[in-house]
Structure 1
Amino acid sequence: MNDYYTDLGVERSATAEEIKKAYRKKARTLHPDVNPGPEAEEEFKRVSQAYDVLSDEGKRRQYDMGADPYGGAHDGFGQGFSFSDIMEQFFGTAAGGRGPRSRQTRGQDALVGLRIDLEQAVFGGTQELTVDTAQTCGTCTGDGAQPGTSRRTCDACGGRGEVQMVQRSFLGQVMTSRPCAACQGFGEVIPNPCHECSGQGRVRARRTMNIKIPAGVDSGTRIHLAGEGEVGMGGGPAGDLFVELRVQDHPTFRREGDDLHASIALPMTAAALGTTVSFTTFDGDREVEIRRGTQPGDTIVLDGLGVTHLRGQGRGDLVIHADVRTPTRLDGRQEQLLRDLAETREETNPSGELRDLDDSLMGRLRHAFKGR
Structure 2
Amino acid sequence: MSKRDYYEILGVAKGASADEIKKGYRQKAKELHPDRNSDNPDAEAQFKEANEAYEVLKDADKKAAYDRYGHAAFEGGMGGARQGGYGGQGDFASAFSDVFDDLFGDFMGGRGGGRQRATRGSDLRYNLRISLEDAFKGMQKTINVPTSVGCTSCSGSGAVGGAEPDTCPTCSGMGKVRAQQGFFTVERTCPTCSGLGQIIKNPCQTCNGAGRVEKDRSLSVNIPAGVETGTRIRLAGEGEAGMRGGPTGDLYIFIEVEDHKLFQRDGNALFCRVPVSVASAALGGDIEVPTIDGGRSRVKIPAGSQSGRQMRLRGKGMPALRGGSAGDMFIELAVETPVNLTSRQKEILREFDKLSENNNPESSSFFSSVKNFWDSMKS
- Normalised to the residue count of structure 2, the TM-score between the two structures is 0.65
Q: Deviations over 1:338-365 (max 9, x none)?
A: 3333344346999955639xxxxxxxxx
Task: Assess if the C-alpha contact under 8 Å between 1:229 and 1:240 holds in 2.
Answer: yes
Q: Go from structure 1 to structure 2 and tell me whether the alpha carbon gap of 1:349 and 1:177 turns closer, same or farther (over 3 Å shift).
A: closer
The residue aligned with 1:342 is: 353
Matches of residues 164-183 of structure 1 in structure 2 within 5 Å?
A: 181-183=191-193
Max radius of gyration: which structure? Answer: 2
Q: Deviations over 1:172-198 (max 9, x none)?
A: xx9998776555565654332112210
The residue aligned with 1:46 is: 34
Determine if the alignment matches structure 1 residue 266 to structure 2 residue 276: yes
Q: Go from structure 1 to structure 2 and tell me whether the alpha carbon gap of 1:330 and 1:347 turns closer, same or farther (over 3 Å shift).
A: farther
Distance 1:214 1:22 in 2: 62
Matches of residues 301-320 of structure 1 in structure 2 within 5 Å?
A: 301-320=312-331
- Cα RMSD between the aligned structures? 4.1
Task: Assess if the C-alpha contact under 8 Å between 1:128 and 1:211 holds in 2.
Answer: yes
- For residue 248 of structure 2, give the secondary structure of its aligned residue in structure 1: coil
Distance 1:257 1:317 in 2: 10
Q: Go from structure 1 to structure 2 and tell me whether the alpha carbon gap of 1:232 and 1:176 turns closer, same or farther (over 3 Å shift).
A: same
Report deviation, 1:144: 1.0
Q: Deviations over 1:315-338 (max 9, x none)?
A: 111111111112223223323333
Q: Go from structure 1 to structure 2 and tell me whether the alpha carbon gap of 1:289 and 1:198 turns closer, same or farther (over 3 Å shift).
A: same
Task: Assess if the C-alpha contact under 8 Å between 1:144 and 1:197 holds in 2.
Answer: yes
Report deviation, 1:242: 1.9
Distance 2:134 2:176 in 1: 59
The residue aligned with 2:97 is: 84
The residue aligned with 2:123 is: 109
Task: Assess if the C-alpha contact under 8 Å between 1:107 and 1:232 holds in 2.
Answer: yes
Matches of residues 42-191 of structure 1 in structure 2 within 5 Å?
A: 46-47=34-35, 73-74=45-46, 75-76=48-49, 77-78=51-52, 79=86, 80-81=91-92, 82=94, 83-87=96-100, 90=103, 98=112, 101-147=115-161, 150-151=163-164, 153-154=166-167, 156=169, 160=173, 181-184=191-194, 186=196, 188-191=198-201
Q: Deviations over 1:236-261 (max 9, x none)?
A: 11112222211111011011222111
Distance 1:88 1:156 in 2: 22
Q: Go from structure 1 to structure 2 and tell me whether the alpha carbon gap of 1:346 and 1:243 turns closer, same or farther (over 3 Å shift).
A: same
Match of 2:135, as an amino acid?
Answer: A
Q: Go from structure 1 to structure 2 and tell me whether the alpha carbon gap of 1:213 and 1:154 turns closer, same or farther (over 3 Å shift).
A: closer
- For residue 355 of structure 1, give the secondary structure of its aligned residue in structure 2: helix
Q: Go from structure 1 to structure 2 and tell me whether the alpha carbon gap of 1:136 and 1:22 turns closer, same or farther (over 3 Å shift).
A: farther
Gaps of at least 5 residues in structure 2 are 1-22, 53-85, 368-379
- For residue 252 of structure 2, give the secondary structure of its aligned residue in structure 1: strand
Determine if the alignment matches structure 1 residue 290 to structure 2 residue 290: no
Task: Assess if the C-alpha contact under 8 Å between 1:156 and 1:180 holds in 2.
Answer: no
Q: Deviations over 1:34-84 (max 9, x none)?
A: xxxxxxxxxx95147x59xxxxxxxxxxx9xxxx9x697443222223222
Q: Deviations over 1:188-220 (max 9, x none)?
A: 543321122101001122222122223222212
Determine if the alignment matches structure 1 residue 227 to structure 2 residue 237: yes
The residue aligned with 1:198 is: 208
- For residue 235 of structure 1, give the secondary structure of its aligned residue in structure 2: coil
Q: Give aligned-pair identity as a percent.
A: 36
Of 309, 312, 322, the match for 2:333: 322
- For residue 306 of structure 1, give the secondary structure of its aligned residue in structure 2: coil
Task: Assess if the C-alpha contact under 8 Å between 1:137 and 1:203 holds in 2.
Answer: yes
Match of 1:46, as an amino acid?
Answer: P
- For residue 282 of structure 2, give the secondary structure of its aligned residue in structure 1: helix
Distance 1:166 1:214 in 2: 56
Distance 1:205 1:257 in 2: 38
Larger helix percent: 2
Task: Assess if the C-alpha contact under 8 Å between 1:275 and 1:291 holds in 2.
Answer: yes
Q: Deviations over 1:6-36 (max 9, x none)?
A: xxxxxxxxxxx9xx89975xx9xxxxxxxxx
The residue aligned with 1:299 is: 310
Q: Go from structure 1 to structure 2 and tell me whether the alpha carbon gap of 1:186 and 1:349 turns closer, same or farther (over 3 Å shift).
A: closer
Match of 1:138, as an amino acid?
Answer: T
Task: Assess if the C-alpha contact under 8 Å between 2:313 and 2:329 holds in 1.
Answer: yes
After alignment, is 229-238 or 308-317 more displaced?
308-317
Gaps of at least 5 residues in structure 1 are 1-16, 28-43, 52-62, 357-372
The residue aligned with 2:377 is: none
- For residue 327 of structure 1, give the secondary structure of its aligned residue in structure 2: coil
